[in-house]
Amino acid sequence: INAIIVEKTLQGKVVTRLKGGDPMIFGRGGEEAAELAEAGVKFEIVPGISSTIAGPAYAGIPVTHRDHCSQLTIFTGHEDPTKGETSLDFEHLAKTPGTKVFVMGVSRLRGICDEFIKGGASAETPIALTRWATTGKHQTVQGTLETIAEVVEEKKFKSPAVAVIGNVVKEREKINWFETKPLFGKRIVVTRTREQAGGLSKRLGELGADVIELPTIRIEHPQDRQDFAESVSESHTYDWLVFTSPNGVERFFDAFYATYQDARSLGGCRIAAIGPSTEAKIRDYRFAVDLMPERFVAEGLLDAFKNESIEHQKILWVKAEETRDVIYDGLMDQGAIVDSCLAYRTIPETSDPTGAAKQLREEGADMITFTSGSTVENFFKMDIDWPEECEAACIGPVTHKAFKSHCESPSIESEKHDIDGLVQAILNHFGE
């Protein structure tokens, strides 16, 4: 890899050599920098946060603590195999006061612990190992120099990992902050589109969940793009615009501003929307929402319109091609003149660059989330058996009904039919 870095740089390219942790702490950054210097290549080193410090921090272990130590020693458990013999003086390490941290040593753990004990360290010295720190897969095991090898084998704990030896490990009992998050240890699948998954994934991840993003749908242009464009260009002739999803808002206003340069070109249209996320997307385009139902479903919107005088008024409903006709029929029954604007369509997502489907098949999940009927329908078209002991979380009654038509596994439905409500329902469920 050093040769590649030099080669690409000498070709005039700007090269970033991205490292995990800090490049100068067991990251071979010094070796690579020396080779660049020898080749006459100018470079810059950007320090990072070493896993030897960050990993223990997420496990609730401070590597230094005034009550326990004022010295920190870091070493590697996996040295250069060409050296022939170790350069580590375990007897010296065992007698050195303070915390000892080592990386790349899971395969040699038993031998390292034996060497420490042989060098004079107490067999009862606390030790902890942590891996996948900062992620939903985060795992920590702890014991003593005498017992930790058995604990690691019993828990099937694998590398890579950071190990901490010393009394600072005892602080974990007080400050184990990450592993006490409400969704820690729960693997939750998000089936939204790749573009929209991030918001829900971030919320769940911040609560400690191990999130798998497995988009089951993607958003495409409508089949009749000319008809859509004409509907947008004539939108100023309507009394109301109705939006039921952020996707519809985005497609509509992107097309609107491609035609008109001024927001006032929308005329005197009033705007109705279902749900906070739809409203937020409308506000992104600097428009206000005039009507928002208390219940974030089609039936709730129809109830809200009963308080408006819409007889003989023209309403443009911006929707997906596959949307049920509840809003159209309900508004027509109230005497409105309704046109549908087909802004987009949802189709099955066939791309899986992250291998999420394979991971779900092999590792299972605790819960799979669904935010629309289409995410449900397309999930069950995938070649994935419903995982054992897995539950579903559905954003509302329509989505829940779609799930129940396919599967009788346990499921929950959010009372508030938006992302906030879905997250709260998941929290309430796992908190029971």
Tokens (6 digits) for 334: 């109230």
Q: Which of 128, 125, 116, 144 is nearest to 62 (CA)?
A: 128
Residues spanned by CATH 3.40.50.10090 within the chain?
187-216+349-431, 220-347
Q: Are 305 and 291 in contact (CB under 8 A)?
A: yes
Say how far apart CA 288 and CA 239 lie, in whole Å.
Answer: 15
Q: Which CATH code of 3.40.1440.60, 2.140.10.30, 3.30.950.10, 3.40.640.10 fits the domain covering 51-175?
A: 3.30.950.10
User: What was the pLDDT predicted at 322?
Assistant: 80
What's residue 87's pLDDT?
Answer: 76
Domain 220-347: assigned CATH number: 3.40.50.10090
Task: Find the angle CA(268)-CA(273)-CA(278) to the nearest 5 degrees.
Answer: 120
Which residue spans within 4-87 are E strands per DSSP? 72-76
Edge-to-edge order in the sheet of strand 99-103: 72-76, 99-103, 162-165, 126-131, 139-144
Contact 208, 178 (CB under 8 A): yes
Paired tokens of 89: 């003086």
Per-residue pLDDT of the chain (432 residues; tens, 9 = 90+): 999 999 999 999 999 999 989 999 998 999 999 999 999 999 999 999 999 999 999 999 999 999 999 999 999 987 665 555 667 899 999 999 999 999 999 999 999 999 999 999 999 999 999 999 999 999 999 999 999 999 999 999 999 999 999 999 999 999 999 999 999 999 999 999 988 888 999 999 999 999 999 999 999 999 899 999 999 999 999 999 999 999 999 999 999 999 998 999 999 999 999 999 899 999 999 999 999 999 988 999 999 999 999 999 999 999 998 887 899 999 999 999 999 999 999 999 988 999 999 999 999 999 999 999 999 999 999 989 999 999 999 998 999 999 999 999 999 999 998 899 999 999 999 986
**How would you class 381 by CB atoms within 10 Å of its CB: exposed for 0-12, middle for 13-18, buried for 19 or more?**
exposed
187-216+349-431: CATH architecture: 3-Layer(aba) Sandwich (3.40)
Return the ∠ at Cα 376 (arms to 373 and 380), rounded to 5°.
Answer: 145
Sign of CA dihedral 242, 248, 251, 254: positive
What is the predicted pLDDT for the residue at 79? 65
Strand-by-strand arrangement of the 217-220 sheet: 217-220, 337-348, 314-320, 240-243, 270-273
- Residues found in the chain: 432
Quick check: helix, strand or coil at residue 62? coil
- Give the other-Cβ count within 10 Å of 245's Cβ: 25
Q: Which pLDDT belongs to residue 402?
A: 95
Q: Among candidates 148, 156, 91, which has minimal Cα distance to 123?
A: 148
The tokens describing 183, both together, are 């969704």
Q: Which pLDDT belongs to residue 258?
A: 92
Contact (CB, 8 A) for 316 and 238 = yes
Query: Which residues lie closer than 8 Å to 317 by C-beta, 6 or more apart?
Result: 242, 244, 327, 328, 331, 338, 339, 340, 341
Measured at the alpha carbon of residue 80, what is the angle toward residues 76 and 82, in degrees to the nearest 5? 155
Q: What is the predicted pLDDT for the residue at 284? A: 95
Q: Which helix (H) or strand (E) holds 348?
A: strand 337-348
